[in-house]
Amino acid sequence: MRVQFVFGKESKLKVLENAQMEELQSGSYRVTVTVYPMETELFVEGEANGYTSNIRAQPLSEDYLRDMAKQDNQFVKLETAALYNVVGDNAPTDAMVKACVQTGLKFVDFAFPPDQKSLQIGSLLKMKVLPWERPCMFLSDANAEQVRLFRNGVHPANIDEGDLGDSWLTGAMACLAEFPDKIRDLFRHPENVEEGKKERANGIYRVTFNKNGWWMNVIVDDYLPVAGGRPKFGRSKGDPAELWVAILQKAYAKVFGGYGFIIAGDPLHALQDLSGFPCSSFDNAFVESTINETYELFEHLLQYTSTGYQLVFTTPTREAIMSARGAAACGSPAAAEVSFTKANLLLGHTYAVLKVGYFPQTNLRLLQFRNPWSTSKSDWNGPWNKRDPNWKKFAEIANYFNFDEEDDGTFYMEWPDVQDYFVGCGVCFLQHPVYDYRCRGTFFQNVPTTCLEISVRRPIILNLMLSQEDKRGTDKAENSPIMISVAHGCGQVSPMRVDLNSGFDNDHPTPEFTFLQSRDVSMFYEFLPQFSPYLVVPRAMSTYPSLPYTMGLLSPAEIGTDASDVRVAFRALAPENRVFDNYQNFNCETVATETEFQAKSPNQFFPDIYVGTILQTSNQ
């Protein structure tokens, strides 16, 4: 903060400490001082004959940030040495956590240390040197006593994305924040609430992600990159003592190896990593509907939102702004950017859909969006804005959306306007309640070590998922093409015939062999007793000699107990089986295979882990 006062002539003043004074031609005195965050500067003393002031915020200089980083690094070294003295070299993280809780030492994450490397790695551009501080260091003493993960309730509008450039991740956070309990569940301690409180008192935080299809609990310390007395990157809007946004972002950065690795990405990937539920992208279908002015995609979206799935739309980046249909009419990127500004939409951002409606009497297709990114009003300037008289004219439409003319953080757009301003969309298939099962395997020369043999005693729809290792944070140039095939023998174990395969849309499996060069694929499938047993075969067309994978199974009913209507066994096919050459009919000769798997019921926050040849969670 640059503070400047001009005192009237005949003032009798003495400048103090770092303040500087100069006498002006008029005989008045100009006194200037720079005040840095969390610092107090003495200014002047004496008698003033009137004054005017000019106080202006200025960006922190790189020299200042570098000096602060050096000072903070000394503090980090002291805490690191103290922890080393207790746990020794190469101690596992769990042992370090236990030692900190027992001794009262503050936790320092050796695996993701608070240093410049954790910022820089993964970034194509040179990152500014930033100091790392705990909340007790960048907050006042009074505010430090109020530090909590959650203080103001979880809401999309409480997220400030900061300056990292990871709007894909913060956008996914905002979408999941439409379901506050799901955000809170990410931070639940795997054992109990009391253990979580003890750990947080020592600067230890846990976040649960679904990484590569497998549930994992990530431990981080509470050192954060800061500037100006607050976290530099993701943070809670207006409350520096609320930490969930910053801690979630840090834990996600740790998963991939550094903040630089999460600077750009697909919001649907982040949404699946946070929620564990499959996501489907409709970017290509959206472009096609925009060009051909068709409504098939809209009908799907209407169905999905009525089912409770989460829809998301994305605006173009600044570099790709002319890909938006509405930008073409603007004539230039600069004019198009002005159009987005007037519409109150940020480029390169994700917007959650709250409700979709179709009104045949007026042939109106209308969508309600959340706008958590606006710095002023949330509304937009086109048809069906909050001031549009149509809201009073059409009571049925207003009632359907529970319309509120006040700024409640939402806006409404007709489908043609959506096609003008957005360039892609997708859906996260959130399901409530659900039993969640995951098993691990490896493709060797594209032959999977583990398939799923599924038998049911009643008709049931299961959600199948297949995930490979995320290329983010690795040296993989691209994803391998993968697919799920479901086969049955009309009640016979062998031979079998491939019935359906995963495709572009989780909700619409296809009879075609559709390998997608995607991180994840998924499909809903209805299993019937008369066609049991089924064989679920993970497929790959990879150039890697080995490719780890995870199969996911989401079920509305519990699996693995005596009372279960669904039985799952882990089986392996011979490498020479015809199904791996894309034959629809094949002999299903399998052998049992032992597999590690996770099981999570609707009331669990972290799964139990088992090893076996069948999916069994109770003694039988």
Per DSSP, 105 falls in state P
Q: What is the Cα–Cα distance from 30 to 21, expressed in whole angstroms?
A: 6
The first and second tokens of residue 217, run together, are 């609990």
Q: What is the Cα–Cα distance from 307 to 299, expressed in whole angstroms?
A: 13
Under DSSP, is residue 375 helix (H, G, I), strand (E, B) or coil? coil
Between the CA atoms of 200, 166, 368 and 427, what dihedral angle is there, to the nearest 10 degrees?
A: -90
Peptide bond into 459 cis (omega under 30): no
The answer to whether 397 and 366 have CB atoms below 8 angstroms apart is: yes
The closest alpha carbon to 156, from 378, 356, 344, 305, belongs to 378
The residues near 513 (Cβ < 8 Å, ≥ 6 apart) are 483, 485, 498, 501, 582
The closest alpha carbon to 274, from 171, 165, 368, belongs to 171
Radius of gyration of the chain (CA): 28
273: number of Cβ within 10 Å: 23
Under DSSP, is residue 286 helix (H, G, I), strand (E, B) or coil? helix
- Which residues, in sequence order, are bridge partners of residue 597? 439, 610
Catalytic residue among 189, 269, 300, 349: 349
The first and second tokens of residue 550, run together, are 């995870």
Q: Is 143 a catalytic residue?
A: no
The answer to whether 245 and 236 have CB atoms below 8 angstroms apart is: yes
Q: What are phi and psi of 491, to 5 degrees?
A: 100, -10
Catalytic residue among 158, 202, 344, 371: 371
Q: What is the Cα–Cα distance from 222 to 201, expressed in whole angstroms?
A: 10
122: left (phi over 0), alpha (psi -120 to 50) or beta: left
The first and second tokens of residue 368, run together, are 């309600």
Q: Which residue has the tokens 């002006």?
A: 24
Q: What sign results for the dihedral spanned by CA atoms 250, 256, 257, 259?
A: negative
Q: What is the Cα–Cα distance from 462 to 373, expressed in whole angstroms?
A: 36
Q: What are phi and psi of 155, to 5 degrees?
A: -150, 140
Q: What is the Cα–Cα distance from 22 to 28, expressed in whole angstroms?
A: 9
Q: Is 506 a catalytic residue?
A: no
Element (H, E) at 416: helix 415-421
Please give the positions annotated as active site. Answer: 349, 371
